[in-house]
Structure 1
Amino acid sequence: VLPPSLLTTAERARDEGRALIERWHGKGRLRYAVTPRFSLSASEPLLDVCEELLQTPGTWFTTHINENTAEVDQVATYFPARTHYLDTYQHHNLITDRSVLAHNVHATDHELEVMAEALAWAAHCPTSNAALGSGLFPLRRHVKYGVGVALGSDVGAGTGFSLLKEGLQAYFGQQLLGPAGYPLTPVHLLYLATGAGARALGLADQVGDLGVGKQFDAAWLRPQPRSTLDVVLGHATDANDALAKIFALGTPADVAGVWVGGQQLHSAGEGPMPSPCSPYSRPQEAA
């Protein structure tokens, strides 16, 4: 039984959602995401409120789905009138091209068909799935049905925010699936951690790669001298080999600088920060 402080009502959820939209949505690069925990924590009236909030232009929808078999079975019991787990959201018009669904480890073929038709995305959270024993993500089946996939961390159950770690675990997972897996190259991992995420969030025209005209969102990796990563990068045979070594051995400690919108927001070194590459305004709280 959850403590009262973690419980809510549809009316309270509506009021809080509207307040958050008013305060943050559209401020700088921020957008509001309607985020029910998952179907098992949401009543039908609360999902109706989610549908209502999602009518606000530019808002997004994200939640968990098909994370483990026990959860899938519980959802079927809790929502007997629904065709499958995805239908608990689809019934409320929450599955669109502005939907990002975490996990989706145990999706049915029909669910993948519906996601592909709606242009909804899956957020693969490999360290979380491994830590909880949820199963191995069926990437090949997502690709078969045309469902977009990007990397996530689900840090509540995952082991950190580093997409280098998530990428490496994604590689391991596909290898463990054998013939059913989708072999991932270093370039695949880079795309999953960058361009795929930008596409999933509808930002591919702004970020996701270093193309001309896009905002400069970047992380600079500079391993410590004589560290393992530093040594092996010195022996990399080409860019692909170097990228493989970065995913295998890179950690947040190797990040020497972070830029968002052309402005450096983190520096692990000494000396002045570079001038901004493009204007970037931090979101301001609404009055």
Structure 2
Amino acid sequence: MSNESHAYRARILHFVDNPLNAGDQAWQYFEDGILWVENGYIRSVGHAVDQLMTLPTYVSIDNYSDHLIIPGFIDTHIHYPQIEMIGAYGEQLLTWLNNYTFPTESQFGDSAYAARISSVFTDELLRNGTTTALVFGTVHPASVNAFFSEAQQRGLRMIAGKVMMDRNAPEEICDTPETGYHHSKRLIERWHGVDRLQYAITPRFAPTSSYEQLEKIAYLFKQYQGLYMHTHLSENTNEVAWALQLFPEATRYLDIYDNYGLLTPRSVFAHGVHLCDEECRRLAETGSSIAHCPTSNLFLGSGLINLNQLFQHGVSVGLGTDIGGGTSFSMFKTMDEAYKIQQLRGATLDPFQALYMATLGGAKALDLDTRIGSFRLNNEADFVILDLQATPLLKFRTPYCKSLRDLLFVLNTLGDDRVVKRTYSLGRCVHNRDGATHL
């Protein structure tokens, strides 16, 4: 944690509510603003003319003209072991898993290998302005130990877990109901609630867990307070049919998880592309969330999610990059593809709503909106400084924006990792595009 008091002057934008509920009152924007951070937490945010009257004289101010400060991005679904296979060609979900994912994940029993990949993966998150992520490991406990060690060293708020799967996958990357339970239990007791780390029970998806394993998962979920449950749901039509074939007692895919008590405010289901109204109603009723992963859904040909259906039912939705089915760590690229998916559905996605899902909406999906995702007083100071002239095209294009909405949409459409000048976690610079960080 930083023990310093520091202020940052730039354009500043953050959300205080969901635009679907609060309209233009959902965000605060300061054309010339100051964000004051002390000891790693938010002390105040507001118009510079007001802040300068009350800011203590001992607080130094960094000035960033032509920059925008927003909360750090929150990635609600990503697989760190799959970074080396990002962009693997030519398959849809189920064959992609067998041909690329499972062979890649088999390497993560090697602690040194897992540590190296964890470091590269975390560098990429921070380079893209992502300060919190909900992360899949592999079936190997070493994969989780390596990732949490890396995140702890950097002082990051991260959530992760060991994959649990005991069938329908190669033997070398399967556990059993017993080993999955005991390995997860040891990892929970080692990492959950330590510093800024939290644990997610992580069945890959229903088809790779037996009835016995799901019973163990349900028991484990009840044993410890504050755990997450992180899995996949209704990503691909063949997957949906397969899940219902394996669990014939279930009327709908979501019923499989619901029957084991796995729908809670800390349950995050990746994708949800092919959901019926009843499943959406049940997700909202239990406070469960969907992680929308547009680059992955397009890359694997999984389908076009109906965001309006989820919104109308009041389901909490965050954004996920879903590396390595997803094709970019950048939340700008993710928001860009999310917009295009809705266009293909004959709908649209407002840039304010997209940015909300990437920040405060993501925090809400992770039940962390009282800690991160906005510049609320005493929130953890996770934020990014965006360079609005990062590329020649942006430098040319942004002066023609006539409103904040125009500017956000241009960033969502044309932005990438080059826009992220600095990334801060708990008030400390953990990525500096132009040089050394303050690790």
Task: Give the TM-score normalised by the residue count of structure 1.
Answer: 0.90
Q: Give the Cα separation in 2 of the matches to 1:163 and 1:212.
A: 25
Q: Which range moved further: 264-273 or 151-160? A: 264-273
Which residue does the alignment assign to 2:236? 68
Which residue does the alignment assign to 2:187? 20
Per-residue CA deviations over 1:183-224 (Å, capped at 9, x if unaligned) read 211111110100110001111111111223222211222266
Structure 1 residues 26 and 271, CA gap change in structure 2 (3 angstroms): closer
Structure 1 residues 271 and 81, CA gap change in structure 2 (3 angstroms): closer
1:263 Cα deviation from its structure 2 partner: 1.2
1:226 Cα deviation from its structure 2 partner: 5.6
What is the 5 A alignment of 1:13-162?
13-55=180-222, 56-162=224-330
Which residue does the alignment assign to 1:208? 373
What is the 5 A alignment of 1:161-240?
161-178=329-346, 181=347, 183-222=348-387, 227-240=392-405
Q: Give the Cα separation in 2 of the matches to 1:205 and 1:271.
A: 31
Which residue does the alignment assign to 1:247? 412
Which residue does the alignment assign to 1:278? none
When you count strand as a share of all residues, which structure comes out higher? Answer: 2
Which residue does the alignment assign to 2:151? none
DSSP 3-state at the match of 2:290: strand
Which residue does the alignment assign to 1:269? 434
AA aligned to 2:407 is A
Per-residue CA deviations over 1:149-206 (Å, capped at 9, x if unaligned) read 111111121102211111111100111101xx3x211111110100110001111111
Q: Give the Cα separation in 1 of the matches to 2:435 and 2:303.
A: 44
1:255 Cα deviation from its structure 2 partner: 1.3
AA aligned to 2:240 is V
The answer on whether the counterparts of 2:169 and 2:208 sit within 8 Å (CA) in structure 1 is no
Q: Which range moved further: 12-21 or 206-215? A: 206-215
AA aligned to 1:14 is Y
Q: Say which structure, 1 or 2, has more relative contact order (CA 8 Å, 6+ apart).
A: 2
Q: Give the Cα separation in 1 of the matches to 2:341 and 2:277.
A: 20
Q: Which runs of 5+ in 1 are unaligned?
A: 274-281, 283-287
Aligned residues: 271
Which residue does the alignment assign to 1:279? none
Which residue does the alignment assign to 2:89? none
DSSP 3-state at the match of 1:204: coil
Structure 1 residues 42 and 2, CA gap change in structure 2 (3 angstroms): closer
Per-residue CA deviations over 1:104-156 (Å, capped at 9, x if unaligned) read 11112211111111011111000111011111011111112111111111112
AA aligned to 1:235 is Y
DSSP 3-state at the match of 2:180: helix
Q: Give the Cα separation in 1 of the matches to 2:212 and 2:391.
A: 58
Q: Which range moved further: 226-235 or 45-54? A: 226-235
Structure 1 residues 3 and 170, CA gap change in structure 2 (3 angstroms): same
Measured on the aligned residues, the alpha-carbon RMSD in Å equals 1.7
